[in-house]
Structures are given as C-alpha cells and as structure tokens.
C-alpha cells in the first residue's frame, strides 16, 4: 500500500471512446502528478498540480485533459486517443514543499487503445 | 531542460555479487538525485536519494555516490538477493522547475540465484 490509489488498473478503449482515470492520495500531500510510462522509454512527466492549480503541462496533446478538484484527487480524462497512447499511466504525489523530494507513485493504470 | 542518461539498460549478476548502475545529468544546477525501484506490476518506489551537499549516502546494502564536477551519480547494491531483481530508475530535477523531474531510461537488474 503506497498511499496513492489508481483506478481502473486496466482499461481498454476504442479511439472514439471517452474514459477517465482516477487517482486518490491519502498522504496529505499538496502536489500531484501524471506520468506516462511506455515500453523502452523513460517516464514522461505530463502534468503537475500544486494546491489544485496546474503548474506544469509538458506539451501534452489536448486529447488528455486533467482535472484536480482538491489536493487529494486527480483525474485524467481521455478522448479520441490514438493507439500510440497505449501505455501505463502513473499518478504520483509529493509534499510540494518548494524543494525537490520523494515522489509517491500509485500502481498505475494500464491503458490499451484499439 | 534536464537530460539524464542511464547505463546499463540490463544487468545480470549472481546472487551475492555487487551491482552498479550509473547515471549522468546535464543541468549543473540540479541538487537532488533519487533512485527508484519498480517491481513488476507496481509503480516506482524511492529506495535512496542524495542531495548535492554530500558525496555519498548508504542505507544497509544500498549506496549512492555523487560526483557533481563530472555530473554523474551511481547506485551500488552489495550482496545482491533475488528480491533485488527489478527495474531501477535514476532521476534529477530540472533546476528551472524543481517538480519537473527527468528520469533515466531504466536498468533491468536480474539477480540469478
């Protein structure tokens, strides 16, 4: 149990579907992140939220739409995805104290786009 | 931004031997260097980290060394055990945004019993 819970663990969707990934952290952290992990590629930062405000968008296509209603919850809304978007999507949280520190990752949502 | 290179991509060692994984980074202002372990079906988990004001840090069988002049840092695992088998990632934050952490490409470590 890492304190960061992601649902669903597995998702298969067509290119015209709309789905959402959910992340919840029980650690009292103020920063939350979405990372994409593809085979044979480094973890790619997608979005960062601090105190519910988006502070980083790492040039992510608009078919990925994040939402952070509060410091404990983070969503990634997906629509009209492409097969190359198939990957493991990892949510993470951190203290957000103003200095670099440990990231606490969830177990990820494995997405397959058909 | 930060560019992090990690070597080797795969590493096989006999149980009880040592394993060393090396990373180089490009941003000379980076000041925090974590190492993460990712087991199959799980998210990465921090195993050790080092800040730029020290050159070495140890935690039982795991150690990290940092050479700021050469801009590289290494993970050392001694007396390896089968449960050390996993993918290991180094990382470094971009000085222009401390939360923009760049990860290495990963090292798949296999410890052979």
B25-57 pLDDT, tens digit each:
998 888 899 999 999 999 999 999 999 888 999
| CB spacing of B98 vs A4 below 8 angstroms | no
Q: How far is CA A70 from CA A24, B55, B104, in A?
A: 10, 39, 30
CA neighbor of A31 nearest in space, from A95, A77, A75, A91: A95
* Rounded-to-integer distance, Cα A69 and Cα A3, Å: 18
For position A41, what pLDDT does the model report? 82
Nearest residue in chain A measured CA to CA from B100: A45
pLDDT category at A1 given cuts 50, 70, 90 is low
With contacts defined as CB-CB under 8 Å, which chain B residues touch A50?
99
Q: Would you say B89 and B104 are in contact if contact means Cβ atoms under 8 Å apart?
A: yes
Q: Which residue in A34, A36, A39, A42 has the most chain B C-beta atoms within 10 A of its own C-beta, making it the best mutation to test that interface?
A: A42
pLDDT category at B2 given cuts 50, 70, 90 is confident
Within A1-114, where are the H helices? none
Cα of A100 to nearest chain B Cα, Å = 5
Does residue B98 surpass a pLDDT of 80? no
């Amino acid at each position: 149990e890492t304190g960061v819970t992601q649902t669903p663990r597995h998702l298969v969707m067509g290119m015209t579907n709309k789905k959402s990934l959910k992340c919840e952290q029980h650690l009292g952290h103020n920063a939350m992140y979405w990372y994409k992990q593809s085979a044979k590629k480094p973890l790619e930062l997608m979005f960062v939220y601090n105190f519910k405000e988006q502070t980083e968008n790492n040039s992510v296509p608009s078919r990925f739409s994040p939402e952070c209603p509060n410091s404990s919850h983070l969503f990634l809304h997906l629509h009209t995805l492409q097969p190359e978007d198939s990957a493991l999507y990892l949510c993470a949280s951190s203290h957000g104290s103003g200095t670099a520190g440990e990231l606490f990752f969830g177990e990820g949502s494995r997405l397959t786009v058909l | 931004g930060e560019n992090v290179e990690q070597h080797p991509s795969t590493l096989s060692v006999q149980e009880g031997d040592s394993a060393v994984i090396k990373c180089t980074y490009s941003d000379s202002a980076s000041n925090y260097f974590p190492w993460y372990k990712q087991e199959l079906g799980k998210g990465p988990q921090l195993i050790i980290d080092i800040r730029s004001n020290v050159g070495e840090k140890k935690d039982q069988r795991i150690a990290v060394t940092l050479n700021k002049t050469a801009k590289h840092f290494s993970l050392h695992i001694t007396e390896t055990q089968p449960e050390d088998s996993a993918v290991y990632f180094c990382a470094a934050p971009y000085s222009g945004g401390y939360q923009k952490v760049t990860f290495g490409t990963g090292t798949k470590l296999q410890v052979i019993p």
